[in-house]
Amino acid sequence: MAYDNLLSRRNVLFGSACFCCLPSLLRAEAAGDAPGPAATVEVGPAIHVRRGLHEDVTATNRDAIANLSFIVGRDAVAVIDPGGSLYDGISLRLAIRAVTALPIRYVILSHVHPDHIFGAAAFKKDEPTFVGHIDLPGQLAARGDFYRQGLERILGKGDAESAVVPTLLIRDRTELDVGDRGLILTAHKPAHTVCDLSVMDKQSGILLAGDLLFVERIPVLDGDLKGWLAETAKLRAMNIASAVPGHGPPLVGWSDAEAAQSRYLRVLLDETRIAIAKNIPIEDAAASVGQSERNNWQLFDAYHGRNVIEAYRRLEWE
Amino acid sequence: MKRLLIAAALIVFANTPQAMASDDAAEAAERWRDVAAAIFGERPIEDGSGILKLTTPETTMNAALVPITVELIGNRKVVAVSVVIDNNPSPLAGTFRLGPAFAPDALKMRVRINEFTLVHAVAETDDGKLHAVARYVKAAGGCSAPSATASADVMARIGKMQLRRERSADASLVPTQLLISHPNFSGMQQNPTTGDYTPARYLERLSVNVGGIKAFDLDTGISMSEDPAISFTYIAKGNGDVDVQAQDSSAAEFSQHFNALQ
């Protein structure tokens, strides 16, 4: 039954009471607007970042909500996260082409979430090697269609092509080279998701953290809460000076950003455990746990309750 | 994005049926007539607002885990409670047949919601009559949502149970939450290794007895969340020990004995 019409279904997907949706929907469905080059900033030597919006996906933002990066070496380009939609990927590719004509050798997919990787199709014609965590193909098998259908409902057909499955799979650590420029890829244990990959640029010492690091926007838990804290602790031990987070400013000092995120995750862990120990029902915990963090994060109301539910249902069985 | 796409599902708000547009309401009423006929046959269903109260979340973000509460109110003796999620592929989430060790209080469970839907709670009173109340829930994707739990973890603890009990002022009444670890595969989720649909495998039957006296039997299915969790209050009958028996759709049986709350 089409209870509400599609439009109000979309309002729900957009995630908020959304008086702005109608014009934007119409615009998307009229589509045909060609993407221009994304605005990027050079945050380190030949490291360019396109900052994502702190919004949920909408037809207006074309899922350009995650930070996307590319690094230009002597011989080639490596892309770290190709974008959230075909439109977003094309727009990133145009930004790359405005900087360099070198071949795009690697497209690195930091994890399974669509806002980071559904732009990959825009790079197929470059015939790069698509790179991902060893468990990413499995996650795409389980979720790829589900994500694509969700995107299609919001963006319309055509902007949500199927995910690209990586062929170079990282199990532990691998170094890739784009010409005198080594990139160390690390496959993490379950943390933000079960397939997080981070990239360390050896030349600058900047960590491209993917969604292992959220800044300003509330972290989203879709993997393993304790694991996320543990993987973060390992990164902390590497004395990283600065990082490109998956969401937030294009470049941040690592320690303050990490400290803020770890504080949130620990509050989530500790208070959820207490709620379970006190037999506070999951629905009440979702509204009471971690409220001290409310003012520290954008989109808190959209995701925090879900984080509590995710943490709670796992910690019940620890 | 992560609302739908990561969470796989969401509810933005739940409200009463009266809040629906009138044509939607008509459609929902028609669907309910069909679903009710399939489950309850031709038996008339009366308004249950004096007997039952159904609570669904105002805001929840995970349609694969929607906590709902059915409270028994008033003085009528209720012998069975059914929860129906009208628009789910398998609408009957569960039927609880209540026994003498069931204290007529709140029943809580976690359900999957696959699309915007009315949720009905239906009580059968001891005169054989049916009484229903409903809430409208806006959520989508709960039955096909991929689980974030590693499947190896889930299968390692399949059938394990926890009984989380509290003390109340009346020691004979024990508020309890029963957790059963089970993936409750809906048949609509894809497998991370192959991309094939994971065959349905779900909890089908559950019995809770206290001191050998029935608290409830539950017939259930894929509309219950992964790792089903049911809250209820039992009356400490007999020696007060609690026995739980469960069976899933693969005919696997699980049982656990819990000593009386000391």
Closest listed residue to residue B133, CA positions, set B66, B79, B91, B71: B71
The amino acid occupying position A10 is R
Q: At what angle do helices A225-236 and A300-315 cross, to 10 degrees?
A: 100
Q: What is the ipTM of this complex?
A: 0.84
- Whether the CA torsion A301, A307, A313, A315 is positive or negative: it is negative
| B262, HSE (Cβ side, Cα atoms, 13 Å) | 2
| pLDDT higher than threshold 80 for residue A24 | no
A281·B108 Cβ contact <8 A: yes
CATH number, domain B2-258, options 2.40.180.10, 2.102.10.10, 3.10.20.30, 2.60.40.2470? 2.60.40.2470
Nearest residue in chain B measured CA to CA from A219 = B2
Q: Give DSSP secondary structure letters for B141-183.
A: -TTTPPP-S-HHHHHHTTT-EEEEE---SSTTEEEEEEEE---
Average per-residue pLDDT for chain A: 89
Under the banding of pLDDT at 50, 70 and 90, the label for residue B88 is: very high
A12·B1 Cβ contact <8 A: no
Output the pLDDT for position A19.
28
Q: Per-residue pLDDT averaged across A178-203, rounded? A: 97
B67·A150 Cβ contact <8 A: no
Q: Per-residue pLDDT averaged across A218-229, rounded? A: 96
Closest listed residue to residue A223, CA positions, set A215, A263, A232, B112: A232
Stated pTM of the model? 0.86
Under the banding of pLDDT at 50, 70 and 90, the label for residue B149 is: low
Q: Which residues contact B44 (CB under 8 A, 6 or more apart)?
A: B129, B130
Of the given ranges (B6-10, B173-177, B213-217), which has the lowest mean pLDDT? B6-10
Between CA B129 and CA B79 the distance in angstroms is 10
- Minimal C-alpha gap between B126 and chain A (Å): 30
Q: Per-residue pLDDT averaged across A46-65, rounded? A: 96
- Minimal C-alpha gap between A265 and chain B (Å): 17
Between CA A222 and CA A201 the distance in angstroms is 26
Q: Per-residue pLDDT averaged across A213-231, rounded? A: 97
Q: Per-residue pLDDT averaged across A22-36, rounded? A: 51
Output the pLDDT for position A6.
30
Output the pLDDT for position B60.
58
Q: Per-residue pLDDT averaged across A260-276, rounded? A: 98
Chain B touched by A59 (CB under 8 Å): no
Which tokens sit at A307? 């984080």
Chain A touched by B12 (CB under 8 Å): yes
Tens-digit pLDDT profile for residues A150-181: 899 899 887 888 889 999 999 999 999 999 99
A279·B27 Cβ contact <8 A: no
Q: Kindly report the CATH class assigned to A35-253.
A: alpha beta
Residues 90-109 in B contacting A (C-alpha not used; CB under 8 Å): 108
Tens-digit pLDDT profile for residues A97-119: 999 999 999 999 999 999 999 99
Residues 72-131 in A contacting B (C-alpha not used; CB under 8 Å): 84, 113-115
| pLDDT higher than threshold 90 for residue B106 | yes
Q: What percent of chain B has pLDDT over 70?
A: 86
Chain A touched by B167 (CB under 8 Å): no
Output the pLDDT for position A284.
93
Q: Which residues contact A61 (CB under 8 A, 6 or more apart)?
A: A53, A55
Output the pLDDT for position B81.
98
Of the given ranges (A26-30, A248-252, B18-22, B53-57), which has the lowest mean pLDDT? A26-30
Between CA A60 and CA A18 the distance in angstroms is 12
Output the pLDDT for position B19.
52
| pLDDT higher than threshold 80 for residue B193 | no
Total residue length of chain B = 262
Which residue's structure tokens are 């190709």? A82
Under the banding of pLDDT at 50, 70 and 90, the label for residue A1 is: very low
- Minimal C-alpha gap between A100 and chain B (Å): 31
Chain A touched by B144 (CB under 8 Å): yes
B61·A305 Cβ contact <8 A: yes
Q: Are B85 and B111 in contact (CB under 8 A)?
A: yes
Closest listed residue to residue A85, CA positions, set A113, A110, A126, A107: A113
| pLDDT higher than threshold 60 for residue A247 | yes
Under the banding of pLDDT at 50, 70 and 90, the label for residue B148 is: low
Domain borders along chain A are 35-253
Residues 233-262 in B contacting A (C-alpha not used; CB under 8 Å): none
Q: Per-residue pLDDT averaged across A268-287, rounded? A: 95
The amino acid occupying position A173 is R
Output the pLDDT for position B194.
67
Domain borders along chain B are 2-258
Chain B touched by A316 (CB under 8 Å): yes
Chain B touched by A220 (CB under 8 Å): yes
Output the pLDDT for position A13.
31
- Minimal C-alpha gap between A285 and chain B (Å): 11
Out of B3, B181, B191, closest to residue A56 by CB: B3
Average per-residue pLDDT for chain B: 87
Nearest residue in chain A measured CA to CA from B158 = A317
Between CA A47 and CA A115 the distance in angstroms is 20
Pairing label, strands A129-133, A168-170: parallel
